[in-house]
A = this chain, B = another copy of it.
Amino acid sequence: MLPQKFLSDLEVAIGVKAMITNQDDIAPYMIEQRGRFIGQTSLVVTPATTQEVSDIVKLCAEHSIGIVPQGGHTGLVSGGIPFAGDNAIVLSTSRLNKIRTIDPTNNTMVVESGCILQTIQEHAAQHDRLFPLSLGAEGSCQIGGNIATNAGGINVIRYGNTRQLVLGLEVVTPTGEIWNGLRALQKDNTGYDLKQLYIGSEGTLGIITAAVLQLFPKPKEQQTAVLAIKELEDALPLLNLAQSMLGDALTSFELLPRIGIDFSLKHGQGVVDPIEGQYDWYILMEASVAITHSNLKDLFQNYLETAFEKNWVQDGVLAQNKSQSDSFWLLRENITLCQKPEGGSIKHDISVPVSSVPAFIKTANEAVRKMIPGIRPHPFGHLGDGNIHYNLSQPIDMNKEDYLNHWEEVNRIVHDIVHSFNGSISAEHGIGRVKRDENQYYKSAVEMQLMQNIKTALDPKGIMNPGKLIPVS
């Protein structure tokens, strides 16, 4: 129950239209994509300006009411919903959706946090620029959420994570002050780089209201290929060869297992097998350049020839046109969807050094097979970044619920192996509520304490996204 004084002051500050109190209207903000938890709150606010965000936060601070910032609501770790007992409201950034400015000469644009990622991509393209962040949810996720979770996606190998694409931020702090850090500078060594602290902090240190984004020249030519490999180990020299023969043109280097292709062929719409015959592993790779009249196709063909000569590739196909390259990507995009009809899937979003990916997959496969005979490992994803979505489909003849009951046990085995490779148990999805305790189990006490000290210093009342990422002390 929120205090009446709080509600009436809020109404004065932002107006009743920006306050959702009816549970039917609140429901969509509470139900997540993966549906593991359902949020609970009595108020969702939808401010339209940074000043309104500031007003809301000041009132919440005064009344010690928690605030859960929510963007496009596409997160996978329950970071964007309040849990029962949190005494928290939801602040939706959906109406903070203006593209403020674009400066193509400086390769920057200033956007509010509620802008949809795809809208930003399109706006940049209209000015012959690329905003390279690209991921499955781009049609509905918001840039504020991308920044708060340091989203990854399919172009990281070339352009980096969201962190590398943000030059400046505007943030409302947990005391309701507005920090204007909207600098459009490539270089600025005038103190602690505060924006870095907010990027990836999952709403626990403040609310991102706007950002300066880094743009790039728009790619003019690209090449896409699917390669079949026999041994997973061969993917490493193949990647290094691509890095030296294609240089910065390499933008994607994705791993697909045969089982993923089988699932996609069986359950996907319009999916075709790109290569005749069956191989254990496939690489989907793409290279692109911002220049016209490049020799990218020749370079790519030389690369493939060298890879064949070295015997690192068994078979391969270079897309001859846009529709063929689209069909390769369709295969990749169907990978997650097409696991669903195969029953329960225990998921991991891990990273290890790129050089350790094959060893990690082998060790983990062996361990989980030993634990649950018949389990079907389905590792796929961003091999070029060392980031594998290590998903495990249930044995064919097992009851789904029985299988999913092993979730935490399996997590522990897989994460122990990740830890032994000095890896990360959350490469791109973040921690939220789902992985909070698991994260604490693996982080050193020194690191947890440093994080806690920062949290306490910046959010002394603990009102920002309570219970997420940082354990409640």
Chain A interfacial positions (CB closer than 8 Å to B) = 103-108, 128, 149-150, 152, 156-157, 160-161, 163-164, 173, 177-194, 196-197, 199-201, 205, 217, 236, 240, 243-249, 289-291, 293-295, 299, 302, 351-356, 382, 385-387, 422-431, 435, 439, 442-444, 446-447, 450-451, 453-454, 456-458, 469-470
Contacts and interface: CB of A to CB of B under 8 A. Distances in A.
Given A193-B196, A244-B290, 6 more contacts: A184-B422, A186-B354, A188-B427, A189-B429, A193-B197, A293-B299
Copies in the complex: 2
A184 B150 contact: no
26 contacts: A103-B353, A105-B355, A106-B354, A106-B386, A150-B189, A156-B186, A161-B186, A173-B450, A177-B446, A178-B446, A182-B422, A183-B422, A183-B424, A185-B427, A187-B382, A189-B426, A190-B424, A192-B197, A192-B201, A193-B196, A197-B454, A217-B244, A243-B290, A245-B291, A293-B299, A450-B458
A469 to B, nearest CB: 6
Contacts of A353: 103, 106, 108, 184-185
Contact of A457 (B249, B351, B457): B457
A296 to B, nearest CB: 10
Nearest to A349: B189
A280 to B, nearest CB: 20
Contact of A194 (B178, B293, B450): B450
Contact of A200 (B192, B290, B458): B192
Given A185-B424, A243-B290, A458-B450, A197 B200 contact: no
Contacts of A454: 192, 197, 454, 457-458
Contacts of A201: 192
A449 to B, nearest CB: 8
Contacts of A197: 192-193, 196-197, 454
A227 to B, nearest CB: 18
